[in-house]
């Protein structure tokens, strides 16, 4: 039999969170307390009224755990619907191939194990702390101590980009994630059982609306903003409230050193920049030369009931401790609510010994960082606090000193990137006083609009065509109609075209942003700005269209004498004139958001009119130069060229044994060869249509022996066959 509970709406404590929830009869006793009174009973139905209960669910709340990866910018981080960042190099890291917090994206340089929101306060005279993540060797799992939030909604996505499938007018950034979670449950219904959240005994009774923002702008693609709207849904007030974000950072290159073991985690140095309210971590002695970056947790700001925090003792606190250390008097892991609250409310940065502590934190160890703020004024039932943090990544500036020196010069990019994150948070509130001063209300809605950035021109739509030793780029003139979000002017100025050098992809790192080199720039002539080149040298005499493509292309640039089979990244941007009134330099659209990974090669060979298929390199020597530093046999490749539009390729030993079979069509993007997932991105790959890579593994994924191999190509349309051979030398 089923029972439906009464619900009175928001802010009414425990029953409100059970509204519209259906329970089996045998579960009823587990949700009743001495505060519940039976109004009347029937043979098969019981109604209860529970008065002034704390917002605690003794019965397990159904918890749906979902994750997504940020992909708009250059930080590829796993974010989940419990407001956490990172995946602890387990779960989705192994199963889905999700990065934990990778910067630059696709580089293998990871920065975070995991991290989550901390909320602490005093309720009815007792300290209570709810944490979204805490020290644990394998990260989140249902019911684990320290992982005390439960979901109300899955993680959802929206985008401000018109061409995104997630476009919504209410989107804040190029990729928003959002969800709602609470700390009210002490048990979780996993579907297969009802389990206690370990040591989560005194929930505060809060509901949290979570948002994560990331942008593709080149001046803002290195941070993720985490925004939390925290509402007291209990019937009790929360005093002396502190809010913080805890991060277990680890800056290592997982392509060089696979994650695992204490030696992987104990190489990090830590620090805190008081003027920026930002704690950070860097690789001090680990994968030096392969991890030239910082990761930081920055407090951006908060509002309580629409105003800046007004508590006279409000401060930013920084703490760092050794992983699960229980002995060190200063750097110990807080294992209970009282210790956690102590860390949140008393920062190392406020201790007299701080200069000495700073030096200690710079030395390598396995530590985590907590940036917290408070105390906030009393948070009464129904009231809210909104707080934002940023995860900021930055390239280390080379100054001739070792990474462990952590000099101010080495941190220059980190500081600049953090300032851009702060600019994004402030939005219209340029001076950060939580008030609309004269001239700040740019959109005229009478309130502060946060999380806005100046906008470069729109990304110019482009099409890239790969051909034999040639790459041609076409693009439209749509970017020329762009309107800046702040100045409200059409301030388009010109285009820039970039390309990587041959072999960039098999170097030690795949930081494409750094590898892109400017090959062409064109701008408006006659306005006394930039190069005054005009657009006539690239303008098509007659605009072009392509089948199945609604764009009209008016510009063209061709790269000649391109090496076939090698990867070349092409990126096209638009830039504006700058804004002297708002003291902004010229802004450029994001190269990484408008790039293609292009492989020049033979076009489709219909009816074998272009000659017989062939293989290159032939002979193949183990670890060919385009295969990079990987020692994995799965990252090998040779190219079959001059293939028909649709065909089957069969590979045999000299003795006639079938080694492997694959099918080819002109839309091939490298998805059946692991080299492209390691060093490229099949989703953005462009091929010529007549070439196909093979990984030199048999159909059973066995490593093939050296020797002579035969192949047969069968064209699907005509049934014609062509034969060839290649040699493998090891």
Q: Per-residue pLDDT tens for 280-337?
A: 999 999 999 999 999 999 999 999 988 889 899 999 999 999 999 999 999 999 999 9
Q: Provide the token pair at 330.
A: 């200063």
Last residue of a domain, one of 12, 27, 50: 50
The pLDDT assigned to 681 comes to 87
Residues 356 and 408 in one domain: yes
Residue 57 has pLDDT above 90, yes or no: no
Residue 37 has pLDDT above 60, yes or no: no
The rounded distance, in Å, linking the Cα atoms of 465 and 689 is 10
Residues 207 and 228 in one domain: yes
Residues 509 and 655 in one domain: no
Residue 45 has pLDDT above 60, yes or no: no
Q: Domain range for residue 652?
A: 606-729
The pLDDT assigned to 455 comes to 84
The pLDDT assigned to 236 comes to 97
Instruction: Tell me the pLDDT band of 709, cut-offs 50, 70 and 90.
Output: very high
- The answer to the question of residue 33 being in a domain is yes
Residues 109 and 246 in one domain: yes
| CA distance readout (Å), 631 to 89, 294, 678 | 22, 28, 12
pLDDT tens digits, 493-516: 999 999 999 888 776 555 787 889
SS3 assignment, position 42: coil
Average pLDDT over residues 354-377: 97
Q: Provide the token pair at 599.
A: 């492989």
Instruction: Tell me the pLDDT band of 618, cut-offs 50, 70 and 90.
Output: very high
- The answer to the question of residue 304 being in a domain is yes
pLDDT tens digits, 90-108: 999 999 999 999 999 999 9
Average pLDDT over residues 180-187: 95
Instruction: Tell me the pLDDT band of 4, cut-offs 50, 70 and 90.
Output: very low
- The answer to the question of residue 447 being in a domain is no
Average pLDDT over residues 356-384: 97
Instruction: Tell me the pLDDT band of 593, cut-offs 50, 70 and 90.
Output: confident
What dihedral do alpha carbons 74, 80, 81, 84 form, nearest 10°?
-90
- The answer to the question of residue 314 being in a domain is yes
Number of domains in the chain: 4
Residues 225 and 374 in one domain: yes
Mean pLDDT of the residues in the chain: 88
Q: Count of alpha carbons within 13 Å of 530, Cβ hemisphere only? A: 20
Residues 124 and 224 in one domain: yes
Say which DSSP state 425 is in.
H
What is the CA angle 618-623-626, rounded to 5? 75
Q: Is the peptide bond before 562 cis (omega within 30 degrees of 0)?
A: no
pLDDT tens digits, 529-546: 999 999 999 999 999 999
Residues 36 and 133 in one domain: no
Strands annotated E in 396-507: 462-467, 470-475, 492-499
- The answer to the question of residue 435 being in a domain is no
Last residue of a domain, one of 426, 452, 477: 426
Last residue of a domain, one of 426, 452, 480: 426
Q: Provide the token pair at 24.
A: 């089996």
The rounded distance, in Å, linking the Cα atoms of 379 and 374 is 12
- The answer to the question of residue 6 being in a domain is yes
Strands 384-395 and 293-304: antiparallel
Residue 178 has pLDDT above 70, yes or no: yes
pLDDT over 70, % of the chain: 89
The rounded distance, in Å, linking the Cα atoms of 376 and 680 is 48
Q: Convert 443-480 to b/e letters by CB count within 10 Å (16 or more is b).
A: eeeeebebbbbbbbbbbbbbbbbbbbebbbbbbbbbbb
Say which DSSP state 579 is in.
B
Residues 150 and 215 in one domain: yes
- The answer to the question of residue 558 being in a domain is yes
Residues 139 and 249 in one domain: yes
Residues 520 and 613 in one domain: no
Residues 390 and 471 in one domain: no
Residue 446 has pLDDT above 90, yes or no: no
Strand partners, 244: 118, 372
Q: Provide the token pair at 715.
A: 């064209």
Average pLDDT over residues 361-384: 97
Residues 65 and 179 in one domain: yes
The pLDDT assigned to 60 comes to 57
Residue 137 has pLDDT above 90, yes or no: yes
């Amino acid at each position: 039999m089923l029972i439906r509970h009464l619900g009175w709406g928001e802010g009414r404590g425990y029953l409100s969170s059970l509204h519209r929830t259906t329970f089996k009869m045998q579960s009823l006793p587990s949700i009743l307390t001495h505060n519940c009174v039976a109004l009347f009973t029937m043979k098969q139905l019981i109604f209860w009224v529970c008065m002034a209960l704390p917002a605690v669910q003794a019965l397990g709340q159904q918890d749906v755990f979902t994750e997504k990866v940020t992909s708009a910018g250059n930080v590829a981080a796993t974010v989940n619907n419990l407001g956490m960042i990172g995946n602890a190099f387990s779960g989705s890291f192994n199963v889905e191939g999700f990065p934990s917090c990778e910067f630059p994206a696709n580089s293998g340089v990871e920065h975070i194990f995991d991290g989550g929101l901390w909320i602490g306060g005093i309720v009815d005279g007792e300290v209570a702390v709810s944490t979204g993540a805490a020290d644990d060797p394998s990260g989140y799992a249902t019911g684990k101590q320290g992982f005390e939030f439960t979901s109300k909604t899955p993680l959802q996505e929206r985008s401000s980009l018109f061409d995104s499938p997630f476009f919504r007018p209410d989107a804040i950034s190029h990729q928003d994630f959002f969800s709602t979670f609470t700390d009210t449950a002490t048990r979780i219904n996993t579907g297969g059982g009802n389990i206690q959240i370990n040591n989560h005994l005194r929930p505060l009774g809060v509901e949290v609306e979570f948002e994560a923002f990331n942008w593709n702008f080149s001046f803002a693609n290195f941070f993720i903003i985490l925004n939390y709207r925290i509402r007291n849904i209990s019937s009790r007030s929360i005093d002396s409230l502190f809010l913080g974000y805890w991060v277990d950072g680890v800056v290592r290159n997982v392509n060089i050193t696979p994650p695992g073991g204490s030696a992987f985690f104990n190489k990090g140095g830590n620090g805190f920049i008081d003027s920026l309210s930002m704690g950070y971590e860097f690789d001090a002695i680990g994968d030096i030369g392969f991890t030239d970056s910082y990761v930081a947790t920055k407090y951006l700001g908060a509002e309580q009931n629409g105003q800046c925090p007004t508590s006279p003792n409000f401060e930013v606190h920084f703490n760092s401790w050794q992983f699960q250390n229980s002995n060190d008097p200063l750097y110990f892991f807080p294992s209970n609510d009282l210790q956690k609250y102590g860390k949140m409310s008393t920062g190392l940065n406020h201790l007299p010994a701080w200069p000495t502590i700073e030096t200690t934190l710079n030395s390598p160890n396995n530590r985590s960082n907590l940036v917290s703020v408070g105390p906030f004024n009393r948070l009464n039932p129904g009231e809210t606090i909104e707080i934002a943090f940023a995860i900021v990544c930055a390239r280390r500036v080379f100054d001739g000193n070792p990474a462990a020196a952590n000099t101010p010069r080495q941190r220059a990019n980190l500081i600049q990137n953090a300032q851009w994150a702060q600019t994004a948070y402030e939005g219209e509130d340029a001076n950060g006083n939580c008030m609309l001063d004269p001239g700040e209300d740019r959109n005229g809605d009478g309130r502060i609009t946060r999380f806005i950035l100046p906008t470069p021109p729109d990304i110019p739509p482009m099409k890239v065509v790969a051909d034999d030793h040639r790459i041609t780029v076409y693009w439209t003139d749509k970017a020329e109609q762009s309107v800046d979000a702040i100045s409200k002017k059409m301030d388009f100025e010109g285009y820039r075209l970039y390309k990587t050098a041959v072999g960039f992809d098999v170097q030690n790192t795949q930081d494409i942003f750094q590898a892109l080199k400017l090959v062409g720039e064109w701008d408006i002539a006659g306005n006394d700005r930039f190069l005054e080149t005009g657009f006539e040298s690239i303008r098509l005499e007659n605009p072009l269209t392509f089948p199945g493509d609604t764009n009209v292309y008016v510009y063209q640039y061709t790269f000649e004498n391109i090496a076939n089979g090698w990867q070349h990244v092409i990126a096209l941007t638009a830039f504006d004139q700058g804004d002297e009134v708002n003291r902004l330099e010229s802004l450029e659209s994001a190269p990484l958001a408008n790039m293609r990974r292009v492989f020049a090669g033979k076009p489709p060979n219909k009816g074998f009119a272009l000659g017989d298929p062939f293989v290159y390199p032939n002979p193949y020597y183990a670890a060919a130069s385009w295969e990079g530093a990987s020692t994995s046999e799965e990252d090998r490749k040779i190219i079959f060229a001059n293939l028909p539009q649709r065909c089957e390729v069969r590979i045999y030993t000299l003795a006639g044994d079938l080694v492997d079979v694959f099918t080819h069509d002109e839309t091939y993007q490298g998805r059946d060869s692991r080299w492209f997932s390691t060093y490229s991105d099949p989703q953005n790959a462009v091929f010529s249509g007549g070439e196909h890579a093979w990984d030199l593994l048999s159909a059973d994924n066995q490593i093939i022996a050296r020797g002579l191999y035969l192949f047969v190509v069968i064209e699907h349309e005509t049934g014609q066959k062509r034969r060839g051979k290649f040699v493998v030398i090891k």
